[in-house]
Amino acid sequence: MRYILVVFAATVACIYAQSFKCPPKDGQYEDPVQCDKFYECVDGRATERLCPDGLVFDPTIRKINKCDQPFNVDCGNREELQPPRGNNLCPRRNGFFAHPDPAVCNVFYNCIEGEANEITCTAGLHFDEYTGTCVWPNDAGRQGCNPGANKKLKDGFTCPKDQKTDEAGQVVAHPKYAHPTDCQRFYVCLNGVEPRDLGCQVGEVYNEETERCDAPENVPGCEDWYKETTMAATRSSVLAAMLLLIPAAIVDAQFKCPKNRGQFEDPVQCDKYYVCDEGEATEKLCPDGLVFDPTIKLVNKCDQPFNVDCGDRFELQPAQGTTDYCPRKNGFFSHPDPSICNVFYSCINGEELEMSCTGGLHFDEKSGTCVWPDVAAREGCGSNANKKLNDGFQCPKETRYDKNGQVITHPNYPHPSDCSQFYYCLNGIEPRLGKCDAKMVYNEDLQRCDDPENVPE
């Protein structure tokens, strides 16, 4: 019976694809009723396709891969979707989803092929599935949120109840605290209640007196911090170099499984691990950009670097990223323009998804989320604002919204005299001149290039 149903479904899909009439031009075209279904037209023949579960088809995207997150796509009347194939944390295999506990409003999950990566909003913000990002609570409009939920880090640190004051007696909004054993790391309590584990850049240590990162010689007790870690790193690097000269099979043979079965970290490389079966070790690598966390109780122990303490496992596999937006194939990365601090990219298998922080926040790669500018401590932000093109065009100061009331990240504007050209403002502040393909003109109503007969003169 099941075989008959599969054959029937395949037959129906084939008939429907044959009934879809391809436009004269080869390309990819949306299904009229299902938002995650599309057709590839080649020489007038249509082949039915589905986006990965959780993504939907956007015919306006100029890339080959036109499947995107639902909050970036206007499906219109295409309301149907394929059946979900998710789990508890990932209702669909791909996408951004709220924590299953409705009281936990500041935590959400970035799901990649059914694997959940936990992300925490910056203090005071709530996750909004409608926009796929963290927003102010009144914008999210979620009920039953418990502001005291999830306030302890993995190492047990919680923010002290006593308020911290500065020299003038003013309450410190985001107090910092030194790590008890690691000179390079420190804690920040966002709004005094939400703890974050952060770290200084390599070569610096945290100075508790000045509450900022400083040279080791200025911090008593941490003067020799990098002498010790450098020696350890050197030993690890030498060992790693020696291991590269040894065939993988010999390395596997040299690794001694602590238990007969399980997954165990490599001692020097943070994204390498070993799968032990009956005492035999097989070397594995996490997807590029992720690292191995032996403390995770899930089968997939590869996670985002900001969630994992690699300790002395300094080495990583060579980066496989092919674009400026995705230095590695997976992860969260800052905009390549250092002046654009409120935009970042979620990279999944080398495909970037652009995301914007809510108003006033900057992206912080160390924590993988949007934080207050003083916590991110990035320099040169906003230096591309008020730029002017050679013809005098500047990006309007007014924020532009789509018909759903969402901020348009890169708004478009028609050229005053050339129908084939248009302006677009990167992140709303940096003007660029765009040009439609040959025999196409810009359609202001659709915000994209279109056939001339569809655009009134």
Domain check: are 392 and 375 in the same one? no
Instruction: Give the pLDDT score at 404.
Output: 66
Bridge-based pairing of strands 343-348 and 331-334 is: antiparallel
Domain check: are 407 and 445 in the same one? yes
- Number of domains making up the chain: 5
Q: Is 257 within the bounds of a domain? A: no
Domain check: are 367 and 389 in the same one? no
pLDDT along the chain (457 residues), means of 10: 40 55 90 95 93 92 85 89 92 93 87 86 80 82 71 82 76 83 86 77 85 89 77 49 46 74 92 91 93 84 88 91 91 89 86 77 85 82 70 83 73 90 81 83 86 85
Q: Is 314 within the bounds of a domain? A: no
Domain that includes residue 46, residue range: 27-72
The one-letter amino acid code at 345 reads: Y
At residue 225, φ and ψ (nearest 5 deg) are -55, -45
Domain check: are 165 and 219 in the same one? yes
In the Cβ-directed half-sphere of 298, how many Cα atoms lie within 13 Å?
Answer: 12
- Helices and strands, counts by H and E, the chain: 5, 30
Q: Is 97 within the bounds of a domain? A: no
The CA-CA-CA angle for residues 87, 75, 132, to 5°, reads 50
CATH number at residue 336: 2.170.140.10
Q: Is 423 within the bounds of a domain? A: yes
Q: Is 50 within the bounds of a domain? A: yes
**Domain ends where: 42, 72, 102?**
72
Q: Is 116 within the bounds of a domain? A: no
Q: Is 211 within the bounds of a domain? A: yes
The one-letter amino acid code at 141 reads: G
**Domain ends where: 176, 203, 226?**
226
Is this model's pTM higher than 0.85 or not?
Answer: no
Instruction: Give the pLDDT score at 103.
Output: 84
Domain check: are 415 and 371 in the same one? no
Q: How many CB atoms lie within 10 A of CB 174?
A: 18
Q: By three-state DSSP, how is residue 457 classified?
A: coil
Nearest Cα to 47, choosing from 56, 55, 34, 38? Answer: 38
Q: Is 10 within the bounds of a domain? A: no
Domain check: are 154 and 219 in the same one? yes
